Amino acid sequence: MVEAEVRLLGAADVRRLAAELDLRPTKQRGQNFVIDANTVRRIVRESGVGPDDVVVEVGPGLGSLTLALLEVAARVVAIEVDDLLAPRLAQTVAELAPSRADALEVVHADALRVPGVPGPPPTALVANLPYNVSVPVLLHLLSVLPSLERGLVMVQAEVADRLAAPPGSRTYGVPSVKAAWYADVRRAGAVGRNVFWPAPNVDSGLVAWARREPPATTATREQVFAVVDAAFAQRRKQLRSALSGLAGSGAAAETALRAAGVDPTARGEVLDVTAFARIAESLPRETFA
C-alpha cells in the first residue's frame, strides 16, 4: 500500500514556480497548468489508479497532477518535452513529496515520438494532455504501450465528445473510430476553466477508457486506419465515392463494400470499428502497398 505524505500545488505555488523558471506558458505547447488541488485529486480518483499501478503521465508541467498521482500509485513515469519544465519536476517532487521522490521517473522527450517508457510495464495513463496534440498522443501511446489497461485524460471538451462518440452521432469521426480500436471510451465529466493558469479559452472534459482487444480481422491496424481516414476525408460522402481513391475506382470500392456486408451508399459516420475492419479485409492487399 502506498502511503505518502504529499503536499499538492496551489495557485500561489504554480505562479511561484513559473516565476522562478521565468516561464511564459505557450499556446504552441498547450500549457495550461492546473492550480486546484481538488481537481487533480478528482482526476486521480476517477482514474481508479491504486498502489499496484505504474502510471504514465504526459505533459506534467509544474507537477500538479504528478504529485496527486504519487499519493496513490506505485510509480509515475512523466513524459515532458519542455526543456525548462523537465529538469524541475523531480526537484519539485523531492521538495513536496520527499518520501515518494524515488517513485518518479521523468522522461525528457516528445510523447509523440517515444517508442516506449523505461522500467516496469505501465498499467495506466493519466494526464492533462496538451490540447493541440491530445488525440495523436493518446493514439500513439495506446499503440506503443500495449500493457496500458486503462486511463483518464483531460482534453478539450469538443475532443472529449469526439473520442467518446458512438456511431451515428453528430461528433462521431476519425478519433472515435481509432480510439475504439484500442479501448472502450466514455465521457467522465467536465472541468471548469477557472482551475487552470492561464485559463484556457475552451472548456475541458475528462475521457476514461478501458483497454479491449481490437476487432478480430486479418487486416492490419494500419490498413483499417487507412480506410477510416479515407471514409472521413470528406464528411457526408457515400462510402462508394469516399473509398474510390483508396480502392482505385468506385467499382472496386463497391465490390469491397458489398463483400464486407456494408451498403455502398452508407456514410462512414454510421459504421463502427468492426465494420471498417471488414472493409479493409475485403480490399485487395495491393490497395495498401
User: Per-residue pLDDT tens for 186-201?
Assistant: 999 999 999 998 888 8
Residue with cell 513524459: 79
In this structure, what is the dihedral angle of CA atoms 63, 112, 77, 178, given to the nearest 10 degrees?
100
Averaged pLDDT for residues 31-56: 95
Q: Is the pLDDT of residue 26 over 80?
A: no
pLDDT digits (tens, 9 = 90+) for 121-177: 999 999 999 888 999 999 999 999 999 999 999 999 999 999 999 999 999 999 999
30 band by pLDDT with thresholds 50, 70 and 90: low
pTM: 0.94
pLDDT digits (tens, 9 = 90+) for 74-122: 999 999 999 999 999 999 999 999 999 999 999 999 999 999 999 999 9
